[in-house]
Amino acid sequence: MNTIKIDKYFKGMIANRGLSGIETENTIFSFLAAANRSYFGISADLSVSKDNKIIVTRDDTLLRLGLLNLYIPSFHYDELKKFALVDRKTTNLNSNLFIPLLTDFLAICSAYRKAVFLRLGKYLKPENFDRILSEVTEYYNSDSAYFISDNRKHLQHLTKQIEAGRLFLLVEKPDDDNFEFCKNHGINMYVKANHITKEIVKDMHLFGLKVSTGVVNDKNLAEKLIKHDVDYVFTDILE
C-alpha cells in the first residue's frame, strides 16, 4: 500500500497523526513513514499521563487501539508503554507499537526536517504547556512548531509564551465570532474541510492569517481546497 498522489504541486501537505492511512496513527511507525515522504509537516495529538509525561494519543482509553478498556490518564507512562497497540496493516496487536512520548515525535521530525503540528488534547492544562514548550525547544527547532486547539483560553495562554502566528483555533464551521477572535489575537484557523470556502480563506489572508483544513483523503477535494489557496491540508493518505 502506498500514498495517493495529488496532481497539483502543493507544499502544505500535513501527514495527519503520521501516515495514518497505512500505519497505526500516532505511533513511531506512522511518524517514520511520513518522515520518509514529501510531507511538509506531521501532526500529533498530545495528552498527559498520570505522572505528567507528555504523551502522543488522541484517545481517552486504550479500547480503540489497544483493545483494552483502560483509562489512559490514570496510568504512569512506564505502564502505558507496555500496552501493545493494533497494527493497522494486520489488525493484530503488535508489541512494537505503543503510545510514544512527545520527545520521540519531536526527535523524528527534527532528524527529517519536518514541521510539527501539535493538537492540544482536552486533558492538558496550562501547567502542562511549560513542559511542552520546553521539550519542543530542547528536541526541535521551535520556530517550526505549530499548536492547534479548540480551547480559546489555552490559545490565549500560549500567546504569552510564543508567537500567535504559530497557533490555530480549531473550529467546525467558522462564524463571525471565530473570525473576530482570530483577527483580534493574530491566531490562525483550522477549519473542517466541508466548511472551507474561497471567501473564508481570502478573508483570513487579508489579515495575514493562515488557514488549515482536514482531514482530507479524497484527491479531488484536496485539489479543490488547494485552488482555494488554503495554507495546509491535513491528510491520512494523500501526498
pLDDT (tens digit, 9 = 90+) per residue, 70-97? 999 999 999 999 999 999 999 999 999 9
pLDDT(142) > 80: no
Q: What is the pLDDT of residue 144?
A: 86
Q: How far apart are CA 188 and CA 162, in angstroms?
A: 13
Q: What is the pLDDT of residue 159?
A: 96
Average pLDDT score, the chain: 96
Longest dimension (CA), the chain: 49
Look at residue 43 and give its three-state secondary structure: strand
Domains along the sequence of the chain with CATH: 20-149 (3.20.20.190), 151-160+168-239 (3.20.20.190)
Encode 185-222: b = buried (16+ Cβ within 10 Å), e = exposed: eebbbbbebeebeeebbebbeeeebbbbbbbbbebebb
* pLDDT tens track for 169-180: 999 999 999 999
